[in-house]
Amino acid sequence: MVVLGGGADELGLPDGERTPLAAATTTAMDQLAATGRVGLVRTIPEGMAPGSDVGLISLLGYDAAEQFTGRGPIEAVGRGVSMARDEVAFCCNLVTIADGELVDHTGGGIRTHEAIELLRAVSNARIEPDIRIEVGHGHQHLALVRGAEVLEAACTAPHDILDEPAEDYRPRGGGAKRLIEFMRRADAILNTHDVNVVRRDLGETPASGLWLWGQGVTPILQRFRQKYGLRAALICDSDYGVGLAKLLGMTAMPMTVGYDEGAAAYEAAGRLAVRAVDEHELTIVHMESPAVASHAGDPMSKRTALERIDAHVVRPLLARLETDDRWRVLVAADHAISTPRRTAVASPAPFVLAGTGVAAVVGAPSFHEAVAQLSDLRIDRGCELMEYFLRM
């Protein structure tokens, strides 16, 4: 069983301050640390932008540097969106740009029915005939762009440039001119749309911009069962996770757990995971709620999300597995993140593994970043952790 949480915090906080993971009450994870091994894993290959997308494919045992082709096409698979051979899939976020700065990567928490109206207006304007928008949910959508030259454009995820000048991070390089023109003309439509007029009148943040990033074409990946000989399920709270599961031939089990949701959503995720354990040889749970809280700059909500993952997902899974003669558990962060700066970083992330065949060298008192920093167990290539966990 594997539980992957989005975004452990980097160290370097002011003296006396603790990371949300260190401050959280996580008795199940602490139990694993006391009886197993704590370590650090570098989930982001050198030169790649840090994020849950790269971190997840790495922790599933695949070399992101060679096999990750972008978040967009994998989300398209997750949503069942068909792509033509000459189309490139981009993530297409509704964002808020104010006084030239990108201040909110969720467009003020735009609602799906509002997003539909906004994106319909952009599509009806026929700004660029070779760019079509596929509506998703909330602020997260897709844009399919004809022309392989846009693969060369350098694009930046909006959640990593909060409070930065938007113009400094517009697409650059090959194919960028088309993309920039499309984004700017879309911004003009969105900024004056009735939906945003009403949002401003109500004191809500407008979804005043369109942001393209994460482009790529659909990757060809070796099936997980062929690679590891196990029937696996991936329980996840993102279209990206669903798409990755489909590409790997795993059972995709989607769930919905927002970082600001109550305990009931986490309890439902835990029940789904326990059911999956009874039906599969390996169950993997990926929850992005801690990382979403980090990007919102909300350490208290991140702490709460981690406590709920521990109490309602890790604890019941551990109770179920301990009834078996042989079992093993891995809990890991898929990448590091700075909650104060609201951005992902490429630092190594902590993990803990325990169970049959895992002997504690010196039992750790708890599981968090500072404890992992003291360990001599270091995995420099994130794609090797799955093999280590399964075969050690």
In order of their start, the domains of the chain are 2-68+223-391 (3.40.720.10), 78-216 (no CATH)
> What secondary structure letter does DSSP report for 383?
G
* H-helix or E-strand spanning residue 102: strand 101-104
User: From first to last of its 392 residues, what are the pLDDT tens digits of the chain?
Assistant: 688 787 788 766 655 678 999 999 999 999 999 999 999 999 999 999 999 999 999 999 999 999 999 999 999 999 999 999 999 999 999 999 999 999 999 999 999 999 999 999 999 999 989 999 999 999 999 999 999 999 999 999 999 999 999 999 999 998 899 999 999 999 999 999 999 999 999 999 999 999 999 999 999 999 999 999 999 999 998 999 999 999 999 999 988 766 566 788 899 999 999 999 999 999 999 998 898 889 888 889 999 999 999 999 999 999 999 899 899 999 999 999 988 888 898 999 999 999 998 887 767 789 999 999 999 999 999 999 999 999 87
Angle between helix axes 52-59 and 239-247 (nearest 10 degrees) is: 30
Distance of alpha carbon 8 from alpha carbon 338, whole angstroms = 8
**Over 192-251, what HEC string results?**
CCHHHHHHHHCCCCCCCEEEEEEEECCCCCCCHHHHHCCCEEEEECCHHHHHHHHHCCCE
Task: Please report the pLDDT score of residue 158 as a whole number.
Answer: 96
The predicted model scores a pTM of: 0.92
Task: Please report the pLDDT score of residue 262 as a whole number.
Answer: 78
Task: Please report the pLDDT score of residue 296 as a whole number.
Answer: 87
DSSP-derived 3-state class of residue 289: helix
Task: Please report the pLDDT score of residue 44 as a whole number.
Answer: 95
Task: Please report the pLDDT score of residue 256 as a whole number.
Answer: 75
